[in-house]
Amino acid sequence: MTSPSAAASASVLDLAPVVPVVVVEDVADAVPLARALVAGGLPAIEVTLRTPAALDAIRAIAAQVPDAVVGAGTVISATNVADSVDAGARFLVSPGWTDTLLAAMKASGVPFLPGVSTTSEVVALIERGVHEMKFFPAEAAGGTAYLKSLGGPLPQARFCPTGGIGLASAPSYLALKNVGCVGGSWMLPADAVAAKDWGRIEALAREAAALR
């Protein structure tokens, strides 16, 4: 596993086998939650831009959890890109992409994973010099069978499948040659977050980190 301190030059896909996909409702939860994930062996943390607290959560984690590699997810506009990097995001993840969004992510200076769900989207990104992508929504878009099929004609593409993946299904994704890591939120059960049970989250993170 790549050291978090080397993240600026490393692939997001190689930081850990699992990237937690985090929805932060209360910014006060951001730092203890991130510390629990890092302690459990999951340093790359995707904070989705789905709540008003998201950018402040990224800012807090970036400032107070130095061993975390915090990124922004659900990035869908050039404004999202700029705001996320300004908050301290060290990588960007989008559910899909357009040329405008891709240009903004390329110009951001941080690693990024544009989202794809079709072969044509993968080919289009390869044409544009991008070889690392998010496969979303993984289970709904064909799962491991689809990704395995892509490996033959498009071996230069590597993926972080996300969407509907849990502890039981993650190993089958991680066994594929074209999968670097998976994204998921199963180590962040809502009741544990609500109870601020960071010990339970750390234990679940450790279980996920041991998948590879």
> So which residues are the catalytic ones?
46, 134
Phi/psi zone of residue 181: left (φ > 0), alpha (ψ -120 to 50 degrees), beta? beta
CA 136 to chain centre: 11
User: Cβ contacts of residue 16 below 8 Å, gap of 6+?
Assistant: 1, 41, 42, 43, 44, 181, 209
What are the start-end ranges of the H helices in 20-131? Answer: 30-39, 54-64, 78-87, 99-107, 119-127
Which SS3 state, helix, strand or coil, does residue 144 take? Answer: helix
CA angle (74, 75, 81) in 5-degree steps: 155
Distance CA 12, CA 92 (A): 9
Backbone angles phi, psi at 169, to 5 degrees: -90, -20
Contact 184, 165 (CB under 8 A): yes
CA angle (159, 66, 111) in 5-degree steps: 30
